Amino acid sequence: MQRVLSSLSAALFFVAVALVLLQPYPTARTAQAADINQKCEDCMVRNQARFDQCTEVHGINHIPCYDQFNEGVVICFRNFCEQ
């Protein structure tokens, strides 16, 4: 009886270890999320740089600079930030 329980315990242990090892690796999703967040941040930085350049060239009261900035924000959020 003790030998059967010992074998059963060992089998249960190996099944538990196999289940733990076969679970999906969670950092793959985390890495993907970090990559998307980085792309979002990069897009927003590029958009801000374009806005700054536009206002330096045309002045702070040039409305098309603001329109271009707003369009850039929409594009960044559509493509990267809302994934």
Task: Give pLDDT tens digits for 3-50.
Answer: 665 666 666 666 666 666 666 655 555 556 678 889 999 999 999 999
Q: Tell me, what amino acid is at 16?
A: A
Looking at residue 42, its pLDDT comes to 95
Residue-range definition of the domain harbouring residue 33: 2-81
Q: How many domains does the chain have?
A: 1
Looking at residue 4, its pLDDT comes to 61
Rg of the Cα atoms in the chain = 27
Looking at residue 5, its pLDDT comes to 58
Q: Under 8 Å CB-to-CB from 58, ≥6 apart: which residues?
A: 64, 65
* Distance separating alpha carbons of residues 78 and 44, to the nearest angstrom: 12
* Distance separating alpha carbons of residues 40 and 48, to the nearest angstrom: 12
